Amino acid sequence: MPAPVTAQRCEHRTVTDPLNRPIAVRADHVACRLGDVDAVRDLSFEVYAGELFAILGPSGSGKTTALRLIAGFEQPTAGTIALFDDEVASASRVVPPEKRRVGMVFQDYALFPHMSVAENVAYGLPKSAERNARVAEVLELTRLGGMGDRDVHQLSGGEQQRVALARALAPEPRLILLDEPFSNLDQSLRARVRGEVREILKRAGATAIMVTHDQEEALSIADRVAFMWGGRVEQVGTPDQIYTAPVTVHAAEFIGDANILRVPVEDGVVHLPFGDFPAPEGARRVAVVIRPEEIQVLPGGAYGHVVSREYYGHDQVLHVRLEESGFDLRVRVAPHERLGGAGPIAVGLRTTPLVLAADAGGED
């Protein structure tokens, strides 16, 4: 049954789709309690048709429960979930998983061991004349052509994952869900398989939601990312929005490397060794977020000493303790820079830092 679109919900929508695609998934203030744990407290986002959407968060943030709620394996205790305007879950009514037309790719792939590759892929298809043709088509799409008769035990990890993906895609579901899809793969394989999976999903024209705790994974292949913390979606945005403009301290700390400076506000102004910056309205304490690569070594500026150094090859990170203020900063510099020694160095900012009210999460 279609959920009535209320005026209030329209106000809540922060992102409107510039391409005017239909909304494939709408989660509206969903909460879910498992036993005595509030696994999900507030899940709200919209996924557009054809998008590859990632839910990113640390373990225990509720992201897997979010996926299971959308698949129909868990029931919400509050809020609603709609797929293409069909309401599929609320606190009082729930559509069982088999009626949702949602394909699932599990972390362990969950291939049926008593079936061949082709039988696995055909499992979700109704018995019909076109069945074999569809299986062949999907195997071709996932670059498994000619492997239909293989036993699933004979496949490599990457191949097993493509079988799981082919099996999920075969019945042309409204949505594909991927639970930590790359965590079972060897590190050296991941980057390549990630690209493959994105390409397959895009060629199939599928809408997909992927859950991961790996920020690199989420930022590199998703069209948009939802950041979850403590059972809540704290931010939804494109990868570069999430990285460059985190709206909470949690997001800034979890995604990428960041210096977080907690400082008091005086007369609406934040005093930093690099200068004064305006504070958000009404904030009494703020957290200033400065990425290590946004700090540069200058002939003059804030003076400090290099305490230690982490050398990565493509660059290096200096730990600089500032004089006077005593702030410890991580500063990313080019690998060939020979800095430190005995004398002080001076650092400055490349851009205006991000200043968040300290109550925007993370006030440990």
Q: Find the shortest distance in angstroms from Cβ 233 to other proteins.
A: 20
Closest CA to 142 of 104, 208, 193, 176: 193
Question: Taking CB under 8 A as the rule, does residue 168 contact other proteins?
Answer: yes
Question: Taking CB under 8 A as the rule, does residue 181 contact other proteins?
Answer: no
Count CB neighbours of 98 within 10 A. Answer: 9
Residue 119: both structure tokens together: 């039988």
Residue with Cβ nearer other proteins (189 or 245): 189
Span interacting with other proteins, options 19-27, 87-95, 213-221, 292-300, rule CB under 8 A: 87-95
Measured between alpha carbons, how far is 274 from 329 in angstroms, rounded to an integer? 12
Per the CB < 8 A criterion, the answer to whether 274 and 288 are in contact is no
Total binding residues for other proteins by CB under 8 A? 59
Measured between alpha carbons, how far is 28 from 97 in angstroms, rounded to an integer? 19
28 Rama sector, left if φ>0, alpha if ψ -120 to 50, beta otherwise: beta
DSSP annotation of 264 reads: E
Question: Taking CB under 8 A as the rule, does residue 344 contact other proteins?
Answer: no
First vs last C-alpha separation in the chain: 43
Q: Find the shortest distance in angstroms from Cβ 164 to other proteins.
A: 8
Residue with Cβ nearer other proteins (72 or 256): 72
Question: Taking CB under 8 A as the rule, does residue 74 contact other proteins?
Answer: yes
Cβ neighbours for 121, distance < 8 A, ≥ 6 positions apart:
135, 138, 139, 148, 163, 166, 167, 170
188-227 mask for other proteins (x: CB under 8 A)? Answer: xx--------------------------------------
Question: Taking CB under 8 A as the rule, does residue 107 contact other proteins?
Answer: yes
Question: Taking CB under 8 A as the rule, does residue 110 contact other proteins?
Answer: yes
DSSP annotation of 279 reads: P
Span interacting with other proteins, options 22-30, 72-80, 268-276, 344-352, rule CB under 8 A: 72-80
Question: Taking CB under 8 A as the rule, does residue 114 contact other proteins?
Answer: yes
The backbone torsions φ and ψ at residue 63, rounded to the nearest 5 degrees and listed phi first, read: -70, -40
Question: Taking CB under 8 A as the rule, does residue 104 contact other proteins?
Answer: yes
**Measured CA distances, 288 to 127, 236, 242, 281, 348 (Å):** 60, 21, 16, 15, 14
DSSP annotation of 280 reads: P
Span interacting with other proteins, options 7-15, 30-38, 139-147, 205-213, rule CB under 8 A: 30-38
- 4, with CB counted inside 10 A (0-12, 13-18, 19+), is exposed
Measured between alpha carbons, how far is 340 from 115 in angstroms, rounded to an integer? 62
Question: Taking CB under 8 A as the rule, does residue 43 contact other proteins?
Answer: no
Map residue 252 onto helix, strand or coil: helix
Q: Find the shortest distance in angstroms from Cβ 71 to other proteins.
A: 6
Residue with Cβ nearer other proteins (123 or 146): 123
Residue with Cβ nearer other proteins (69 or 261): 69
Q: Find the shortest distance in angstroms from Cβ 98 to other proteins.
A: 5
Among 3, 23, 34, 260, binds other proteins (CB under 8 A): 34
Per the CB < 8 A criterion, the answer to whether 355 and 304 are in contact is no
Chain positions 132 to 161 lying near other proteins, rule: CB under 8 A, are: 152-153, 156-161
Q: Give the interface with other proteins as residue ranges (CB under 8 A).
A: 1, 34-37, 39, 64, 68, 71-75, 86-88, 92-104, 106-114, 123-124, 152-153, 156-161, 164, 167-168, 171, 173, 177, 184-186, 188-189
